[in-house]
A and B are shown apart, each in its own frame.
Chain A
Amino acid sequence: MKKVSTTPPELVIPSGADPLLTVEHLTMRFGGLVAIDDVSFSAGKGEITAIIGPNGAGKTTLFNCITGFYTPTVGRLTLTARGEEYLLERMDGFRIAQKAHVARTFQNIRLFSEMSVLENLIVAQHNELMRASGFTVTGLFGFGGYRKKEKEAAELARYWLDKVNLTHLADINAGNLPYGDQRRLEIARAMCIKPTILCLDEPAAGLNPKESSELNKLLIYIKDEHDIGLLLIEHDMSVVMEISDHVVVLDYGSKISDGTPLYVRSDPNVIRAYLGEDEDEELPPEVAADIAKDFDPENREGV
């Protein structure tokens, strides 16, 4: 269980100079267990940053620190967006979404399943609607333009429903949607808080190759058209290699590699982390070939 802290010689990340989110020396301990150990990296605007690593590497813990579900033991998380600087590690969980507009999805889908698809998207715009309804007081009596604001919220919801192809299902309960639709709805809901950065926890898990390629298109569309940062945890290497601009690799809570997909793919540290520790042992050639194939978007099956 050694630590590899070699700085890669070349880091050609597109917007490395002007980061949206900077993570510095992030450490998270649960009692004696170190889930994240001194991790630093940055994620840029208009860029997809993928965080990969074997199971238990601390990827979801990192997300929980960024989105305020955990308070980090050590470290600083700076979000610079819309002319403001937010120190995320000092903010309450819900304020990170409310003020800094950090949106996230969950590994196990967390929709409001007994509410309709549209209501899910309206709830996501809670804070704006709350203000428009005069914190319920004026809204209750029908004053103060709440109705107009609600219509606008429904329009934004419709926009995102169109994007994820769920408009015709807007009025049914979210819990009755098929799995793939629920995944897309969760992304649409996160987009409804008008995020500065969108954190996706394994969005392609459980999707078939066709759905997965549609998801890729959606993510690229969000990145290009809405100019926000995307942070992505993903196990499906084909997705990672195809759409991400920047890859951070975690293993046992430490960062072992950081760079462009091309760089990371050939980093011996990464290959070792995915295949085992023993340096003396040569990889059997067929395994090595399989791995190379897995990491290569060109040879991907299914799409």
Chain B
Amino acid sequence: MMNQSNNNTSGIDFTALLKESGIASLVALGLAIVLVGFKTVDTPTGMDIATRWVWVLVAVASVFVGRMLFAFRRESKASRAPVHVDLEAKEKRSAIIVNRFSTIGGPIFIGFALVLPFMPFADRYVVDVATYVLIYVMLGWGLNIVVGLAGLLDLGYVAFYAVGAYSYALFAAYFDLSFWVCLPLAGLCAAGFGVLLGFPVLRLRGDYLAIVTLGFGEIIRVILLNWYEFTGGPDGLSGIPRPSFFGLELKRTASDGSQTFAQFFNLDYSTMHRLIFLYYLILILALLTNFFTIRIRKMPIGRAWEALREDEIACRSLGINPTNTKLTAFALGAMFAGFAGSFFATRQAFISPESFTFIESAVILAIVVLGGMGSQVGVAIAAVLLIGGTELFRGLEEFRMLAFGGLMVAIMVWKPRGLLAHREPTIKLHPDGAPPPMKQAATEGGVK
């Protein structure tokens, strides 16, 4: 087959291709011997090393063939005459696709999310995973305000999530407040911490901002870990109360003076009730985040965030207060993380600092970046892919992270600016398409 293609396509140097593939497979050999060639096995007398040369062979061969195909494709592309690509038309087409996706895809997603718990396949596991995915959808939408709109790279977003979770747990433990009172309080606390973080980093941008926010995320985690008397340290906080449904408890037996959900509606008690209730709760919270973001993008503050992302100096020259603008972005982004955090606490009924490590921030940021910064539907799809995907790949055991990484690389190669990167203007002068350009310069008409 290779000889045939050699004859057909002129101008491809096959010795160079072979050499390139050979070098790549040598590298693969070096890695494969150590990584997959040896395995420790338990024997009755202790431990032994088993060799798996076939695996090494498979790895090297697949790298060789893969590299060959990759290089062949590249070379044959280069040897062909350059093709004229109409970039503008291509951009327009992708804009139309993205628009259709957002206008039609959005309601379809929401509709699907609404009926999901009543689908025949929706067992306990599916609803639980869907709830988990929705937490990340909400976190992604919250972080999207800070990173996607305001352009402030925040690597410590999980800190606000932690603040929200611990605020609820602590308010409930110390003051015996219910979930519905604590939810706004947790949001306020997180927003307060957002402002607290915002002040020292007002003058920072890009990489420097990322480092400081990363540090802030760690500070919160370390405090939670070490303030044993208050937060329970590594033991965490347990017995966090569950939310009630308009005063109806979702338990098997009601506490004194109240009714359970099942009693009130004359249903047989099922643990699914609580799961479905939690699912709808996070769905409502996530949709609230979404509608808020869509709406605030059309407000002056939302436009100022985006302008700040584009050019801070130009913003100052137009009289926009950069301090207030940045702080509101931090505060509002943090507030939604706080809501999500208190939901997380009430769902798990147990929280510990282990749930709020840096990797969580990284995953949320990955969701925003892969989804396409600023795109609401894109972020939701990315959350489903990344969080739902890792659940799907659970069968792969230790290779799960490999699949996760592979998925991320694939998205970035295929769509370097995120899944749905097209941005629609928040206000249009010609909603039905632009009129033809005027021939005469208008300035000439204006001047006598």
B205 within 8 A of A: no
- Closest 6 interchain pairs by CB? A97-B319, A98-B319, A170-B429, A112-B310, A116-B425, A129-B300
B443 within 8 A of A: yes
> Inside 8 A of A136's CB, which chain B residues have their CB?
296, 299-301, 328
- Contact residues, B416-439 vs A (CB, 8 A): 423, 425-430, 434-438
B441 within 8 A of A: yes
B447 within 8 A of A: yes
B40 within 8 A of A: no
* Partner pick for B423 among A93, A114, A158, CB 8 A cutoff: A114
- Contact residues, A82-118 vs B (CB, 8 A): 93-99, 101, 103-104, 106, 110-116, 118
Which residue of chain B lies nearest to A96 when distances are taken between CB atoms in the complex?
B319
Q: How many A residues have CB within 8 A of the partner chain?
A: 61
Q: In the complex, A162→B447 CA distance in Å?
A: 13
> Inside 8 A of B295's CB, which chain A residues have their CB?
140
A100 vs chain B, min Cβ distance (A): 9
> Inside 8 A of B442's CB, which chain A residues have their CB?
162-165, 167
Which residue of chain A lies nearest to B441 when distances are taken between CB atoms in the complex?
A165
Given contacts A115-B306, A133-B300, contact A170 B434 (CB under 8 A): yes
A248 within 8 A of B: no
Q: How many B residues have CB within 8 A of the partner chain?
A: 42
Q: In the complex, A97→B328 CA distance in Å?
A: 21
Q: In the complex, A169→B314 CA distance in Å?
A: 21
Q: What does DSSP make chain A's interface, helix, strand, loop or mixed?
A: helix
- List the one stretch of A47-55, A71-79, A214-222, A273-281 in contact with chain B: A214-222
B127 vs chain A, min Cβ distance (A): 32
Q: In the complex, A150→B306 CA distance in Å?
A: 17
- Contact residues, B288-320 vs A (CB, 8 A): 292, 295-296, 299-301, 303-304, 306-307, 309-311, 313-320
Which residue of chain A lies nearest to B151 when distances are taken between CB atoms in the complex?
A114
> Inside 8 A of A114's CB, which chain B residues have their CB?
306, 309-310, 423
> Inside 8 A of B423's CB, which chain A residues have their CB?
114
Given contacts A168-B438, A221-B447, contact A126 B426 (CB under 8 A): no
Q: In the complex, A115→B441 CA distance in Å?
A: 24
> Inside 8 A of A170's CB, which chain B residues have their CB?
428-430, 434
Q: Contact at B314–A106, with CB atoms within 8 Å?
A: yes
Can you list 19 A-B contacts (CB < 8 A)? A93-B316, A94-B320, A96-B319, A97-B317, A110-B317, A112-B310, A112-B311, A122-B303, A123-B303, A126-B307, A126-B320, A133-B299, A157-B429, A164-B443, A167-B429, A167-B438, A171-B429, A171-B430, A217-B443
> Inside 8 A of A124's CB, which chain B residues have their CB?
318
A200 vs chain B, min Cβ distance (A): 12
A119 within 8 A of B: yes
